[in-house]
Amino acid sequence: MIRNIVFDLGGVIFEIDKRQAIQRFNEAGFADAAQYLDAFAQVGIFGQLESGAITAEQFQQELSLLAGKEITLEGCYRGWQGYFVQLPQCNLDKVLELRERGYRVSLLSNTNPFMMQWARSSAFDPAGHGIEYYFDALYLSYEMGVMKPDRRIYEMMLAGEHALPDETVFIDDGPHNVAAAAALGIHTLQPQDCTAWHIMLEQLLQRV
């Protein structure tokens, strides 16, 4: 029986666009963003930020060195925010509905302080709620010191939730992230867009 539902953030809760993020970093003065940014996992200093190896301030300093010019913290924030396209209200409503039905609902995301500065603020949704209003717990790569698809992040999430793999569903748009969770015995869904998981999840909940 499923008791725990765990969501990725970008690509599942809200729609993302890597190209827009690359453009924003280019506009800030960093012309090589395409070499570092990905839809699922970042590399170089971008990956170091999301794995918690460096702080937001260190990222800004290192990015400025790579760019050969100063890039402000605001420029970094705007660049990362380029990933965000839209947050469908139906996704937030569905998360709340699942909680009302008795499921434990958590977030497991490769993310960073710039994105979470926005997500935890009143700017996250039109009603002025931060992301913590919607989820029972947040498991964030930069706070945990490890990124998906490393198996340790799933094990840490399960331990934090006091959850068994076969009682847990993980929803992520990244194939490697889904495969890593499935290898631990977690039920998985890989939606192709950020609203496709509604029907997929209900079908799974009826089967398991």
* CA 192/CA 12 separation, integer angstroms: 9
Phi/psi for 169 (5° steps) reads -115, 135
Q: How does pLDDT run across 23-48, given as a tens digit for each residue? A: 999 999 999 999 988 767 688 999 99
* Residue 8 annotated in active site: yes
Helix (H, G, I), strand (E, B) or coil at 28: helix
Q: How does pLDDT run across 6-15, given as a tens digit for each residue? A: 999 999 999 9
Can you tell me the mean pLDDT for 78-106?
Answer: 97
- With 90 as the cut, is the pLDDT of residue 57 above it? yes
Spot the catalytic one: 8, 17, 136, 193: 8
Residues in the chain: 208
Question: Which of the four pLDDT bands, split at 50, 70 and 90, describes residue 62?
Answer: very high
Q: Is the peptide bond before 149 cis (omega within 30 degrees of 0)?
A: yes
* CA 153/CA 163 separation, integer angstroms: 14
* Domains annotated on the chain, with CATH: 4-14+86-207 (3.40.50.1000), 18-81 (1.10.150.240)
For residue 39, what pLDDT is reported? Answer: 66
Provide the total of helices (H) and of strands (E) in the chain, helices listed first: 10, 7
- With 70 as the cut, is the pLDDT of residue 81 above it? yes
Q: For residue 23, how many other CB atoms are within 10 A of its CB?
A: 15
* CA 110/CA 142 separation, integer angstroms: 7
Question: Which of the four pLDDT bands, split at 50, 70 and 90, describes residue 150?
Answer: very high
Task: Check if the beta carbon of residue 2 is closer than 8 Å to that of residue 104.
Answer: no
Q: For residue 128, how many other CB atoms are within 10 A of its CB?
A: 10
Helix extents (H) in 15-55: 18-28, 44-50
For residue 43, what pLDDT is reported? Answer: 85
Burial label, 108 (beta-carbon count in 10 A; 0-12, 13-18, 19+): buried
Model's pTM, two decimal places?
Answer: 0.95
